Structure 1
Amino acid sequence: MTKKILCPTDGSDHATLGVHKAVELARLTGAQLTVCVVNMAHGAARGPVINHLTEAEVKKLLEQSEATAKADGLAEIGTVELVAREIAPAIITYADENGYDHIVMGTGDKRGVKRLVLGSVAASVASEAHCSVTVAR
């Protein structure tokens, strides 16, 4: 039975669809929902680490997710910012270390050559996660 759901978001339309589906699953199962934003860290060994998103941007993304969850009828959700150089491993590691048993995430419409060249965070999470993964399209 699903008890803890992690839902990564970047504020895009497909990620917001993932939030809607995560809220629906949390309401149906009574599970705890946490929405996370992975803030990519950039920088070389000799220079400073620079996060892709500002604190204000992260705060806005998390507030938007909270508003979406409340509009969909879920009173309480947790939020977390993850800072990492790679998105998929950050999601998988956080979920594993914090006892999440389900990850729900949206995916873009990348097909053919675009997907082959760009890869897919959702595909990586789905293939490597220790728990169930639902990919919303």
Structure 2
Amino acid sequence: MNSNLLCAIDGSHSSDKAVDYAVDLARKTGAHLTFIAVNHVTDEDLSHSYFWDSTMLDAADAQMQGELESAFARAKAAGLQDVACAVEGGHNIAAAIIGFAEKNGYDHIITGSVGRTGVSRMLLGSIAQDVIVKAHCPVTAVR
């Protein structure tokens, strides 16, 4: 039985669907639900780049926090009490999600099946596919 759900969000349309699915599953099973966003701009990146300035970083952080707050509010509106949010860092988004899930005892990961599109998907691959293939626990990919 799923008692500890982790829902990865990225602001995409499929991520919104994953939030709805995760909230419904947590409500039906009484599971703890955590929403996770991955910040792929690391402190090391910042120290080697003139591209990222504090204004851009603040805007990116505000967007990520807004996405987490929206997911959290949707869960609360559905009556869930046992809800949390987390931010992980790392270039490999799938590895960050899986690592967080393993380290914190999550037994089910929920993710959207489409996030990146076009050239970035071709270059970076599918995050959902990597999570499905490499995770230690069941993964639900929501379309």
TM range, smaller chain? 0.7 to 0.9
Name the SS of the counterpart of 2:41 in structure 1: strand
Any gaps of 5 or more consecutive residues in structure 1?
none
Within the candidate set 121, 133, 136, 2:139 is matched to 133
Specify the alignment match of 1:47 in structure 2: 48
Q: Is 1:87 matched up with 2:88? A: no
1:126–1:45 CA distance, 2 compared to 1 (3 A)? same
**How many pairs were matched up?**
137
Shift of 1:109: 7.7
The sequence identity of aligned pairs, in percent, is 40
How high is the TM-score relative to the length of structure 1? 0.85
How high is the TM-score relative to the length of structure 2? 0.81
Shift of 1:114: 8.2
Runs of at least 4 residues of structure 1 off by over 6 A?
Answer: none
Specify the alignment match of 1:7 in structure 2: 7
Name the SS of the counterpart of 2:38 in structure 1: strand
Specify the alignment match of 1:62 in structure 2: 68
User: Residues 34-93 of structure 1: CA distance to partner in whole angstroms, max 9, x if unpaired?
Assistant: 001101125559616966963322221111111221233323410001111110000000
Specify the alignment match of 1:25 in structure 2: 25
Any gaps of 5 or more consecutive residues in structure 2?
none
Looking at structure 2, the residues matched to 101 and 30 of structure 1 have their Cα atoms a distance apart, in angstroms, of 14
Report which of the two has the higher share of strand: 1
User: Residues 77-135 of structure 1: CA distance to partner in whole angstroms, max 9, x if unpaired?
Assistant: 10001111110000000000100000011121889x98655421000000000001001
Report which of the two has the higher share of helix: 2
